[in-house]
C-alpha cells in the first residue's frame, strides 16, 4: 500500500530558511569517478538518498570500498572491478546509464535490473554504444547483463542522445579508463539537459582528465589516470525548487543557504524562472532568497536544458494568472514516468486546464479543487503535488515516500518549513 499524504495548506505567507542536502547529480558522478580513480577519495556532504545509496551499493558490489567518514563524508577506495555481481538500479537513471560502462571494465558477469517502472526506460542507446566500443552485453533494456573482460577498447561512437543527456555522461565518465579513450558524437534532435553534460566535463577536468568539448555535439575524453577526489558536494539546487516555489505561491520568503555563486547544476535556472513569474530573487552571502509576488505571472519558456524543473514550473503555472507555455520538453515522456501525460492528467483532475503539445504543455490557470494527486513513482511529481497543496485545500499526494529518491525526508522538511512560518 502506498502512503497517502494530505498536503498541508499554507495558512499565510511562508517564511523559512531551508538547508538542503547535497546534489544527487554531483554525488553520483563523483562516486563513479572515485571508484575509477588512482587512489582513495573523500566526498564531503554527499546526498544520502535512495538514488545515491543505490549507486554506492552497486560500486561496492563491483569491488570498491565506500565507507562513512567521521564528518559524514563518503570515503571511497577503488579496487580491481570484478563480477559476478548484481546491480539494483531502482528507478535511478544515473545508475542504469552510468554503471554499464563501469561494468564493461570489470572482469566477469554483471547483471542489471531495477523497479518495474525502470524496465520501460530507454537504455538501448548506451548499451549499443558500448557494444560498438567492444563490450559484450546481452539485452537492450532492464534486465540485461554485461560480461566484462577487464578492459574496453573504446574509440569513437555516434549516438542519438536526444532522449537523455545521461547517455553521453555515462560514456564520458568511464572514458579515461578505455584503452583508446572515447569520442562521443551526438546526431539527432537537439540534446536535452546540456548543463548536465557540462557538469560531467567539468568534474572530469577537475579530476585531471583531458576533455575536448570544443566542437558542437562532440566530446573527446583522452585515456589516462583519474586523480583522487577531495570534494565538497554542493546543495542540490533542483531539490531546492519546491521550497522556493512555496515562497512564490504564498507571497512569502524562503532562503536556501549555501547556494553557489557559480555552478553547473541546472537547478540554478530557477532564479530566472521565478524572476519571470514576478518573484524577487536575491543571491548573497546568506544564500538564495526568494520573495513571492502578490500574483504569479504566467510564462512562455523553453525548458529543454532544465527539464527536471518542469513539474515545479507546471505547478506554479497552474497557480498563475493566465496561460503558460512550457516548451522543449518532449524528452520528459521517457523519464521516471511520462511526465507530460502525468502533469496533464493530474492538473486536470484538480479542475485545471493543461494540454500536451508535441514538445511540451500549455497550462491555463483556473480555480482548482482538492483531489488525490498521483505521483507515478516519480519524486518530482510528488513535490509538485505538495506545491499545489499549499494553495489548494484537499490535495492528497499518493506515494509521498517516492521523494526519498533524492530527498531523504521531504515530508519532514516540508512540515518544518511551514512550522517555521507559524
Q: Which residues belong to the annotated binding site for 3-phosphoshikimate?
A: 24-25, 29, 164-166, 193, 308, 335
Alpha carbon distance 194, 168 (integer Å): 10
Alpha carbon distance 131, 48 (integer Å): 33
Alpha carbon distance 282, 250 (integer Å): 17
Q: What are phi and psi of 104, to 5 degrees?
A: -65, -20
- Contact yes or no for 60/74 (Cβ under 8 A): no
Catalytic residue among 53, 132, 198, 308: 308
CB atoms < 10 A from the CB of 216, how many? 8
CB atoms < 10 A from the CB of 419, how many? 10
Q: Minimal CA–CA distance to 106: which of 58, 44, 52, 54? A: 58
Order of strands across the sheet with 182-186?
A: 155-159, 182-186, 218-221, 211-212
Binding site members: 24-25, 29, 93, 121, 164-166, 193, 308, 335, 339, 380, 405
Alpha carbon distance 104, 347 (integer Å): 43
Q: Residue ranges of the alpha helices (H) in 175-321?
A: 194-206, 237-250, 270-276, 310-318
Alpha carbon distance 78, 35 (integer Å): 5
- Contact yes or no for 293/334 (Cβ under 8 A): no
Alpha carbon distance 108, 317 (integer Å): 50
List of residues 6+ apart from 262 with CB closer than 8 A: none
Report CA torsion sign: 173, 142, 410, 312.
positive
- Contact yes or no for 317/365 (Cβ under 8 A): yes
Alpha carbon distance 310, 326 (integer Å): 8
Q: Can you spell out the DSSP letters for 381-402? A: HHHHHHHHHHHSTT-EEETGGG
Alpha carbon distance 121, 335 (integer Å): 7
Alpha carbon distance 230, 77 (integer Å): 12
Q: Is residue 420 among the annotated active site residues?
A: no
Catalytic residues: 308
Amino acid at each position: 500500500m502506498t502512503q497517502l499524504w494530505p498536503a498541508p495548506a499554507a495558512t499565510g505567507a511562508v517564511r523559512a530558511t531551508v538547508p538542503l542536502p547535497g546534489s544527487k547529480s554531483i554525488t553520483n558522478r563523483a562516486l563513479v569517478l572515485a571508484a575509477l580513480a588512482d587512489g582513495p577519495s573523500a566526498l564531503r556532504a554527499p546526498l544520502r538518498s535512495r538514488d545515491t545509496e543505490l549507486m554506492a551499493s552497486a560500486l561496492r558490489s563491483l569491488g570498491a570500498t565506500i565507507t562513512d567518514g567521521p564528518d559524514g563524508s563518503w570515503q571511497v577506495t577503488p579496487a580491481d572491478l570484478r563480477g559476478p555481481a548484481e546491480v539494483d538500479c531502482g528507478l535511478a537513471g544515473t545508475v542504469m546509464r552510468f554503471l554499464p560502462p563501469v561494468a564493461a571494465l570489470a572482469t566477469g558477469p554483471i547483471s542489471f535490473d531495477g523497479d518495474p517502472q525502470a524496465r520501460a526506460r530507454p537504455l538501448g542507446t548506451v548499451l549499443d554504444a558500448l557494444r560498438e566500443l567492444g563490450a559484450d552485453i546481452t539485452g537492450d533494456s532492464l534486465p540485461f547483463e554485461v560480461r566484462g573482460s577487464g578492459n574496453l577498447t573504446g574509440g569513437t561512437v555516434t549516438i542519438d542522445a536526444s532522449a537523455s543527456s545521461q547517455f553521453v555522461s555515462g560514456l564520458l565518465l568511464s572514458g579515461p579508463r578505455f584503452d583508446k579513450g572515447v569520442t562521443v558524437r551526438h546526431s539527432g534532435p537537439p540534446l536535452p539537459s546540456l548543463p548536465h553534460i557540462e557538469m560531467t566535463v567539468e568534474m572530469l577536468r577537475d579530476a585531471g582528465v583531458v576533455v575536448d568539448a570544443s566542437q558542437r555535439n562532440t566530446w573527446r575524453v583522452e585515456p589516462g589516470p583519474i586523480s583522487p577526489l577531495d570534494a565538497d558536494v554542493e546543495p542540490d539546487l533542483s531539490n531546492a525548487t519546491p521550497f522556493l516555489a512555496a515562497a512564490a505561491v504564498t507571497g512569502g520568503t524562503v532562503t536556501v543557504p549555501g547556494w553557489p555563486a557559480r555552478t553547473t547544476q541546472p537547478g540554478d535556472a530557477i532564479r530566472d524562472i521565478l524572476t519571470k513569474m514576478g518573484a524577487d530573487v536575491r543571491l548573497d552571502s546568506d544564500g538564495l532568497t526568494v520573495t513571492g509576488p502578490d500574483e504569479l505571472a504566467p510564462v512562455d519558456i523553453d525548458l529543454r536544458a532544465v527539464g527536471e524543473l518542469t513539474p515545479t514550473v507546471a505547478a506554479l503555472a497552474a497557480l498563475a494568472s493566465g496561460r503558460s507555455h512550457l516548451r522543449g520538453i518532449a524528452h520528459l515522456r521517457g523519464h521516471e514516468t511520462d511526465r507530460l501525460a502525468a502533469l496533464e492528467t493530474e492538473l486536470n483532475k484538480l479542475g485545471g486546464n493543461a494540454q500536451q503539445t508535441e514538445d511540451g504543455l500549455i497550462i491555463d490557470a483556473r480555480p482548482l479543487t482538492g483531489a488525490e494527486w498521483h505521483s507515478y513513482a516519480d519524486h518530482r511529481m510528488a513535490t509538485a503535488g505538495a506545491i499545489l497543496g499549499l494553495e489548494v485545500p484537499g490535495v492528497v499526494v499518493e506515494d509521498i515516500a517516492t521523494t526519498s529518491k533524492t530527498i531523504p525526508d521531504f515530508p519532514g522538511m516540508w512540515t518544518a518549513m511551514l512550522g517555521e512560518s507559524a
